[in-house]
Chain A
Amino acid sequence: MDLFEAIFWFLTAMAIGSALGVILSRNPINSVLFLIATFFAISGHYILMNAQFLAIVNIIVYAGAIMVLFLFVIMLMNLNADVEPQKSRLVQFAGIISGGILFLLILAALRDMKAAGVIEKTATDIGLMKNLGKTLFQNYVFPFEISSVLFLSAMIGAMVIGKKETLVIDKN
């Protein structure tokens, strides 16, 4: 087992283990921290595939920005394991059945898959910033711009909603 393979298996175990930690831990803060660990493991996989830009963007956007917002909200609302609402038996039963059906579906889809060894894709350079930028701005420029307009409208929408609430408070 060379270094590449060792790192691959370590990252895989870390990703799956911390993803399980997200859903199994009772405390919401621990869930968020496990999710951050998952994102780091996935970024490690990107780096193994020589897609450094994707890896870093994954860390900036998810681990750096979105997860910090999650932490903020959870800390401000002071959610703990004690205040976590207990679901009724019926809801738990429904959850088990629907989760089981999803699991069955995934199992059926992956039934014919053969276990392949670890493939080293370090030779590709499609994930490098230059190639990615050229692909985005030449082949996919229209969807790229449309999605940025979508983000802009979401941002303006958030601002408009925020503004309205302060106006209502002022009238009172």
Chain B
Amino acid sequence: MNQLLEISFSSLASSIHSWLSSAIANATILNVVEMAIAGVCLLVFLVPLCFVLGYMERKVAAFMQLRLGPNRVGPKGTLQIVADTVKLIFKEGLTPNASDKFLFNLAPIIVVVVSMLVMAPIAFAKNFQLWDLNIGVLYVTSISSIAVIGILMAGWSSYNKYSLLGAMRSGAQIVSYELSVGLSIISIVIMTGSLKISDIVMSQADGWWIFKGHLPIFISFVIFVIASTAEINRAPFDLSEAEQELTGGFHTEYSGMKFAMFLLAEYINLFVVSAMAATLFLGGWMPFHIGHWEAFNHIMDFIPSSLWFLGKTFAIIFIIMQFRWTFPRLRVDQLLNLEWKYLLPISMVNIILVTIMAIMGWYL
């Protein structure tokens, strides 16, 4: 029984590693094989994840609008998203004649690859991480800022004025909201004193930052959620694909699997952003503890760390999905005003408060 309880993702990974290193002598081939295994695992995780998120989005939308949602294909409509995927696979992938063909086909690949690269430093469970590099948080912000290049590429190469307008809006939006995301991440970095994801999670062993960081950290949590919703172009900030004015924005000309890749990237980004919010503010895989109440803490420790991580992540995804059906879409000037006149000044003042708190040790 004891042995069964000790099975975890980290022990699984280390036993696979020791088995492989006994089987393969050459270090280079061992590295390549392990990277390939990690990549396949990531893909095997991501595709069902996108199915779940797609189904969840429809059901949450239906729940918010007092509808039933998908309920025909499969039990409770769970296979609806599979049917949609099959439809998209069999659709013709058109490439417009006047477009820049190479860039047009490259853009969806770049968008998907970038969103998958960001998964690398995320801690899925205790001691279970693809790459725990010592600038983890900075890596996430920098790589996710590359996505805008893919979007601009898609918009420009389509040779369509709506696509170009959508890409421009998206670019302006991502570049400006990146600042607030960065500043709210910095507030956690100041408290932790490290950019490493594992250090940030470990620093929350005696209480998540959202609880022990008091009001300033709560403010930066709210700013992080708002600004990253804008950064991944989700409603109410989906001006880049505002269908009433731009007929689909930067992906107007895309169809079939190329369009599906943009959809895939959107869901992966949603997961990554929520996972980052859970890691930075809600303790990542750390279980919920109350002070020195040992009995309660032991029961919480019994729940696996991967379930804690996924639970927190999906809670934030649920909140972000509810935004979509709660707030109307912003106008462009309102969007930029919100960032430059409200979120950015608030987060700058907030940084000063957080710094004072960190220096004086006014937390916990």
Residues of chain A whose beta carbon lies under 8 Å from any beta carbon of chain B: 2-3, 6, 27, 29-30, 33, 36, 52-53, 56-57, 59-60, 63-65, 67-68, 71-72, 75-76, 128-129
Q: Which residues of A contact B145 (CB under 8 A)?
A: 60, 64-65
Q: Which of A2, A27, A75, A129 contacts B152 (CB 8 A)?
A: A75
Interface contact A67-B149, CB-CB below 8 Å:
yes
Cβ of B1 < 8 Å from any Cβ of A? Answer: no
A-B contact pairs, 17 of them (CB 8 A): A3-B28, A6-B28, A29-B103, A33-B153, A57-B142, A63-B149, A64-B142, A64-B145, A65-B145, A68-B149, A68-B171, A68-B175, A71-B149, A71-B171, A72-B168, A72-B171, A75-B168
Residue of A nearest to B193 (CB): A130
Contacts of B44-74 to chain A: CB distance below 8 A: none
Q: Which residues of B contact A56 (CB under 8 A)?
A: 135, 138-139, 142
Q: Which of B28, B149, B153, B168 contacts A2 (CB 8 A)?
A: B28
Q: Which of B28, B32, B146 contacts A64 (CB 8 A)?
A: B146
Cβ of B133 < 8 Å from any Cβ of A? Answer: yes
Cβ of B156 < 8 Å from any Cβ of A? Answer: yes
Interface contact A60-B164, CB-CB below 8 Å:
no
Given contacts A3-B28, A64-B145, A129-B195, contact A53 B171 (CB under 8 A): no
Residue of B nearest to A63 (CB): B146
Cβ of B141 < 8 Å from any Cβ of A? Answer: yes
Residue of A nearest to B28 (CB): A3
Contacts of B123-150 to chain A: CB distance below 8 A: 133-135, 138-139, 141-143, 145-146, 148-149
Instruction: Give bound CA distance, A2 to B153, whole Å.
Output: 36
Interface contact B146-A75, CB-CB below 8 Å:
no
Known: A68-B175, A75-B155, A75-B168. 10 other contacts (CB 8 A): A6-B28, A36-B149, A52-B133, A56-B135, A60-B141, A63-B146, A68-B148, A68-B149, A72-B152, A75-B164
Interface core residue of A29, A57, A64, A71 (most chain B CB under 10 Å): A64
Residue of B nearest to A40 (CB): B146
Instruction: Give bound CA distance, A128 to B195, whole Å.
Output: 11
Q: How far is the CB of B142 from chain A (nearest CB, A)?
A: 4
Q: Which of B103, B138, B168, B175 contacts A65 (CB 8 A)?
A: B175
Q: Which residues of A contact B32 (CB under 8 A)?
A: 3
Cβ of B5 < 8 Å from any Cβ of A? Answer: no
Instruction: Give bound CA distance, A30 to B101, whole Å.
Output: 12
Q: Which residues of B contact A129 (CB under 8 A)?
A: 134-135, 195
Q: Which residues of B contact A68 (CB under 8 A)?
A: 148-149, 152, 171, 175
Q: How far is the CB of A27 from chain B (nearest CB, A)?
A: 8
Q: How far is the CB of A17 from chain B (nearest CB, A)?
A: 16
Instruction: Give bound CA distance, A29 to B31, whole Å.
Output: 37
Instruction: Give bound CA distance, A71 to B145, whole Å.
Output: 14
Q: Which of A3, A60, A128 contacts B142 (CB 8 A)?
A: A60
Contacts of B307-355 to chain A: CB distance below 8 A: none
Interface core residue of B28, B142, B143 (most chain A CB under 10 Å): B142
The 10 closest A-B pairs by CB, nearest first: A64-B145, A60-B142, A3-B28, A59-B142, A56-B142, A56-B138, A52-B135, A71-B152, A75-B156, A2-B28
Instruction: Give bound CA distance, A56 to B28, whole Å.
Output: 25
Residue of B nearest to A59 (CB): B142
Cβ of B7 < 8 Å from any Cβ of A? Answer: no
Q: Which residues of A contact B175 (CB under 8 A)?
A: 65, 68
The 0/1 profile, CB within 8 Å of A marked 1, for residues 148-166 of chain B is 1100110110000000100
Cβ of B27 < 8 Å from any Cβ of A? Answer: yes
Instruction: Give bound CA distance, A57 to B142, whole Å.
Output: 8
Q: Which residues of B contact A29 (CB under 8 A)?
A: 100, 103, 156
Interface contact B149-A53, CB-CB below 8 Å:
no
Q: Which residues of A contact B141 (CB under 8 A)?
A: 60
Q: Which residues of B contact A57 (CB under 8 A)?
A: 142
Q: Which residues of A contact B139 (CB under 8 A)?
A: 52, 56
Q: How far is the CB of A55 from chain B (nearest CB, A)?
A: 9
Instruction: Give bound CA distance, A120 to B55, whole Å.
Output: 49
Given contacts A59-B146, A68-B171, A68-B175, contact A3 B138 (CB under 8 A): no
Q: How far is the CB of A124 from chain B (nearest CB, A)?
A: 14
Instruction: Give bound CA distance, A9 to B138, whole Å.
Output: 27
Q: How far is the CB of A166 from chain B (nearest CB, A)?
A: 14
Q: Which residues of A contact B138 (CB under 8 A)?
A: 53, 56, 60
Q: Which residues of B contact A27 (CB under 8 A)?
A: 100
Q: Which residues of A contact B148 (CB under 8 A)?
A: 64, 68
Q: Which residues of B contact A2 (CB under 8 A)?
A: 27-28
Given contacts A59-B146, A65-B175, contact A3 B135 (CB under 8 A): no
